[in-house]
Amino acid sequence: MVNTFDQPAWKIKIRQIVLVYLYGFLIIDLINGILLNSFGGEMPISFGQLVRGIFTILLLFDIIASRILNNNKHIIYLLFITPVTMILYCFRDGTFKALPLELVALIKPLFFLLLLNQVVQNFKYFNKHLNKIIIANLLFYSGTIILSYVLGTGINAYSTYYDANKSFFYASNTTAVIGFSFSIYFTYQLKYGFTNLFFLILALTALFISGSMIVLVYPLFLLYFLAYKIINKTFYKLITTTIMILAVVLFITGALNSIMFIDNALFLRYQDRALHSINYFDKHSTINITPLRWYSYVSADRAHRANTGLNNIINEPSSLAIGYGNAMRSEKVGEDYAGRTGSEMDFIDIFLDYGIIGFLLIYIPILRTIFPLIWRLSTTMNAMMIYFIFLYSNLAGHVITAPMGGALFALFLGLEYGKLSTEKKLVSSNNIRPKLKIAL
């Protein structure tokens, strides 16, 4: 393993810059949201795009200046392949006007991979700062949302249904995934002191105020946590698992509707929005991919757009390898050319954008980490954070394709990837030593 303290000064400066970014990425997104809310479409490039564009160039230079490793060569491949595919997209579409859009879209997953690479290469360094990073971001996140709610400023993305406030954080889904990630983190941290209970309450309060319905999932997570991480007796685990499965079955069949949607004040808050999402969409039968058809009863248009895009690319084998590109992807999911919204499911949007080649290059480090964790049935704090963010990314989007949501994912994924890589090297070295002794 490379000793990070023996690396050149440039390397140390880069990781320090990354550390500063991880402490302050929410500040960038808040400023970005304020400017977008004030000037709207008048800005040729957003503040967030400008800052992260410069940072992306810096991180790219670092990879080029240092040696290319197995952990980051997929980034180099992506960097060489995508410019060629972008030119092909432009010739295919008969216009080069979408080229800036393609570049901006590419920077998002590329920035995620570059950030992840820095954490992997210096995972011990970032692990040492992990708790301080999370606390600093939690205080800023919850403080701005609660203060905006009290002062009556900020954005209410759900004004049609209920009173909510996400401050000036621009993306609702990203705000939700950040808030729930904080909730998971400080639930695990409760055993380390009473202060963490205060942090947990702050996270849940801000998440509730932001208006995201994902806060309803937290009681189930807490039930799991108490049964499997606190109480070690098999009897209690069996009872808890039975209750959780029974609750889900009763909810799906409608048996709990009268209790949850009428008598419970928490669920009553989200009733109109939930029922609207379920009832307004009536094209379930048009979705021929079964998992997406099931998901459409919750996600509505999201599943329909994903189904449309996947059917189109399957019927066009020439696009399977390199994808449609970001601009044409919009048309292929049923929108205008160069529209702003895809399926809003990261793994499908990335597949439609960059095809099989780009999808594999972007998802290689993610799958290399998640598969071993699942194989080990790992339920550590880092593992649970990765599972949740990965599932949210696949079902609701705006994680890998949104730098604000991708920052925490890159941090926790990088910490685990770094640990797994180190363990693998140790196992390999231990297997080599006996062979050397036998040879001698």
pLDDT at 336: 87
DSSP string, 365-398: HHHHHHHHHHHTT--SHHHHHHHHHHHHHHHH--
**What is the Cα–Cα distance from 54 to 411, expressed in whole angstroms?**
20
Per-residue b or e along 155-187, where b marks 16 or more CB atoms closer than 10 Å to that residue's CB: bbbbeebeebbbbbbbbbbbbbbbbbbbbbbbb
Question: Cα–Cα–Cα angle for 77, 106, 70, nearest 5°?
Answer: 25
pLDDT at 308: 94
Domain map of the chain by residue range?
Answer: 4-230+281-439
Give 234-282 pLDDT, tens digit per residue.
666 676 677 767 766 765 555 555 444 445 555 566 666 666 666 666 7
Query: Is there a contact between 293 and 287 (Cβ–Cβ < 8 Å)?
Result: yes
Q: Per mean pLDDT, which range of 160-169, 326-335, 389-398, 406-415 is the poorest?
A: 160-169
DSSP state, 122? T
Q: How confident is the model at residue 297 (pLDDT cuts 50, 70, 90)?
A: confident
pLDDT at 266: 55
Give 114-144 pLDDT, tens digit per residue.
999 999 999 999 999 999 999 999 999 999 9
Nearest to 209 by CA among 154, 128, 282: 154
**What is the Cα–Cα distance from 214 to 183, expressed in whole angstroms?**
11
DSSP state, 398? -
Query: Is there a contact between 395 and 295 (Cβ–Cβ < 8 Å)?
Result: yes
Both structure tokens of 184: 């998971």
Q: Per mean pLDDT, which range of 135-149, 293-307, 310-324 is the poorest?
A: 293-307
Task: Judge whether residue 47 has pLDDT over 60.
Answer: yes
Task: Judge whether residue 439 has pLDDT over 50.
Answer: no
Both structure tokens of 68: 């290319």
Q: Which residues contact 102 (CB under 8 A, 6 or more apart)?
A: 86, 89, 325, 326, 327
DSSP string, 248-264: HHHHHHTTTHHIIIII-
Question: CA separation (Å) from 201 to 71, 163, 187, 188?
Answer: 38, 20, 10, 13
Q: How confident is the model at residue 2 (pLDDT cuts 50, 70, 90)?
A: very low
**What is the Cα–Cα distance from 434 to 48, expressed in whole angstroms?**
53
Q: What percent of the chain has pLDDT over 70?
A: 81
**What is the Cα–Cα distance from 32 to 50, expressed in whole angstroms?**
10
